[in-house]
Amino acid sequence: MNPSVEPTTQRKTVVVVGHGMVGHRFVEALRSRDEAGKWQVIVLSEESRAAYDRVGLSAYVGAWDASALALPGNEYAGDDLVELRLGQRGVSIDRAARKVVTSDGAAIAYDALVLATGSYAFVPPVPGHDLPGCFVYRTIDDLDGIRATAEAAGPGAHGVVVGGGLLGLEAANALRLLGMTPHVVEYNDRLMPAQVDAGGGAILERLVTDLGLNVHTGVGTSSIETTAEGLTLTLSDESRIDASLVVFSAGIRPRDEVAREAGLEVGPRGGIITDLGLQTSDENIWAIGECAAVEGVCYGLVAPGYTTAEIVADRLLGGAGEFPGADMSTKLKLLGVDVASFGDAHGVTEGALSVVLHDAAAGTYAKLVVSDDAKTLLGGILVGDATAYSALRPLVGRPLPAEPAALISPAGAELGADSLPDDAQICSCNNVSKGAICGAIGEGACDVPAIKSCTSAGTSCGGCVPMLKKLLEQSGVEMSKALCEHFEQSRAELFQIVQVTGIRTFSGLLAKYGKGSGCDICKPTVASILASTSSDHILDGEQAALQDTNDHFLANLQKNGTYSVVPRMPGGEVTAEQLITIGEVAKEFGLYVKVTGGQRIDLFGARVEQLPLIWKRLVDAGMESGHAYGKSLRTVKSCVGSTWCRYGQQDSVGMAVLLEKRYRGLRSPHKLKLAVSGCARECAEARGKDVGVIATENGWNLYVGGNGGLTPKHAVLLAGELDDETLIKYIDRYLMFYIRTADRLQRTAPWQEALEGGLDYLKAVVCEDSLGIADELEAAMAKHVDGYRDEWAAVLDDEEKLSRFVSFVNAPEQSDPTISFDDSGERKVPVLLGLPEIPVTAGVGSTTATHEK
């Protein structure tokens, strides 16, 4: 690589110093708008990792998977106009020559320079602050160091966080998750002093103390000393805390040293001074994010940082965007406690009045700050219950639709979306107004995922999602829950009806709760519900006529009318004898053989009348149906784990086999895929599965909601470092809760996204039994496990079922003459003989040929 990059006359060069969230947002914004390709972008990243979600840094604890925090598109693959240089820091600026010198000595010429250097964690000059065992809470590397020290100290060791603000409490929670006993030292008289007042702070302190934090407010840290056991902190009141590590989270400071040395104007308290267009005192240099002091003011939240990035992208392309000011509202959940602050939360506006509802028994605190005539909302604080945040925050500066007390009282008025004007900001993270959202709805965005895709609202913190749902309802979008024209109920409601009434036939359910004769939507859906609530064979009695084609023949229909057969190989394990049998079957029946992405073998080209004969050979060899045809568990993929791999930390194969045998045959709203990885190297790709299990030194991390397909989703951490028993218990609950409540053909990722409360709600239900149904869910799964019987073997034992497996009912001995193959090449392929492909509706019910990945 040429260390000196000169701009060309055809294309200008913009150099971005810093590749955090805001720097990445700038590159995305510029490249998405620069259709003519006017700008070549060179990005300098001090860290060895491309941009990641620093706001979600605490999610790294327990998962220890840095890739999960990576921002989408952060490496700009395939974009020739973006060059990302990892591990290269901008160390100086030659403004006269318009060049940036990097930490490896390269001099990069620029036409425009964007400083996105962010901020650093402030460490107060306490004696001993630089001793081993002292950390800041800022990067992935910081957390890796904290983890190593905490694990060396052992469970129950004490850790101290200096600073009780937002990041301080996140750091304390990280220590708690690492098995430590956390202490928080806050100089002010309350936690989160920037966000909450004395009343809110008192409730917050009580709530987090009940969760295991030791809180020390109104005191500072005088010194830190090394002892034989670790560290000792002496506080300003002369008290002492013995600890194994200390984390400083006492605020942040803008990183302006490069700008300062280059002679750019900086603020008296730091930060690179810019105008409203984010231009610095040098017309060729801009500053964005936390390092920028916009007309003297620094903003430490990601939302205003994104706004600055968008403005500079606009300016470089000839626009005239200006910084509109920043909404510093925050809504978060700390250690499971809701905290929200918006507008003038502390009532500094002259004449402001406060309306407070302080319910110590319930552990909630709500305060609204209003104008002196009590008609205009100025701000507010919510602790313990922040459900009203999404409706209240957009009303800041606007007339109140009801009495202030009624808006925060549990028995008071509920704010509707119609109370907000079109210019009210609904999503503060991405600056999306009510008008923009309603416009997207008017153009066809008829659900929350569609609104997210069109407007970006709800894609960052998610706090505005409840309001998105209200806007959908207000806009007249019919949120029908009906399964189809024959059932007004949703799938979840029909599941409950079947479970409570004991109805075991489609005709019985239709007669009592539906209308008409049914269709290709409700028939297989009810068939799946009936299968999920009993261990009856899916081809028993009336159920047989309800099934999709694949389920009806217990095999996957292919394009030429033949079927594929996939025997189960739990965890990818198979014996030599079973492999020999598979080979013999493939040779005898002339089948095409392919290893699937799910660690098993697919046999293609079987005629319908051959299926029982093939199954018989496989069953006799100790194999069974792999359910590749059903909306049910497919595979539990695994690596070789600790039994073979030198990096393995747990027996991933043994766990995968256990899980696959436990959940085999489990019918669900959509197919289910699981995986178990024996270490964080993730060879089984567990984060891409509906349920993913990853081994750690101390147990298993459980991830849920990973899906492939058109909209891939990474699974998210549900619980960490679980023993075998707890892991299986949580998976039982998760799967049965999904089966009961998901919509027809809804995969786990969109199901989780649609849950009111999202992941926090799911954790409460599965891990904390917030709904009181854990025993019921576990019992339902136990019933399935006890009642399981291989579907292939059950057909072989039943003459009536066997009679269905013929090409022609009136000529059972005759094969379908239209089926033909071409095996003249390297692999066998179907020949369609000029006939159209098998349609998606074929034979009984409807289907599409299914494929494993």
The helix (H) or strand (E) run that includes residue 224 is strand 221-226
| Residue in the structure block whose two tokens are 């702070």 | 201
The pairing of strands 292-294 and 563-565 is unpaired
Distance (Å, whole) CA 11 – CA 217: 56
Distance (Å, whole) CA 770 – CA 764: 5
Q: Which of 423, 394, 425, 422 is nearest to 407 (CA)?
A: 394
Tokens representing residue 622 in the block = 């100790």
3-state secondary structure 263-325: CCCECCCCCEEECCCCECCCCCEEECHHHEEECCEECCCHHHHHHHHHHHHHHHCCCCCCCCC
Q: Alpha-carbon dihedral of residues 44, 45, 49, 53, nearest 10 degrees?
A: -110
The pairing of strands 107-109 and 99-102 is antiparallel
Q: Is 683 annotated as a binding residue?
A: yes
Distance (Å, whole) CA 307 – CA 27: 13
Are the beta carbons of 61 and 717 closer than 8 angstroms?
A: no
Amino acid at 408: I
Q: Is 291 annotated as a binding residue?
A: no
Q: Helices (DSSP H) in 36-77: which residue ranges? A: 60-63
Q: Which residues contact 850 (CB under 8 A, 6 or more apart)?
A: 550, 556, 628, 629, 671
Q: Is 679 annotated as a binding residue?
A: yes
Query: In this structure, what are the phi and psi dihedrals at residue 370, rounded to the nearest 5 degrees?
Result: -125, 165
Are the beta carbons of 131 and 137 closer than 8 angstroms?
A: no
Give, rounded to a whole angstrom, the gap between the first and last alpha carbons of the chain. Answer: 39
Cα angle vertex 777, ends 771, 780, to 5°?
155
Q: Which of 828, 501, 800, 687 is nearest to 65 (CA)?
A: 687
Are the beta carbons of 619 and 638 closer than 8 angstroms?
A: no
3-state secondary structure 772-829: CCHHHHHHHHHHHHHHCCCHHHHHHCCHHHHCCCCCCCCCCCCCCCCCEEECCCCCCE
3-state secondary structure of 741: helix
Helices (H) and strands (E) in the chain, counts: 25, 40
Bridge partners (DSSP) listed for residue 345 = none
Binding residue numbers = 639, 645, 679, 683
Binding residue numbers for siroheme = 683
Binding residue numbers for [4Fe-4S] cluster = 639, 645, 679, 683
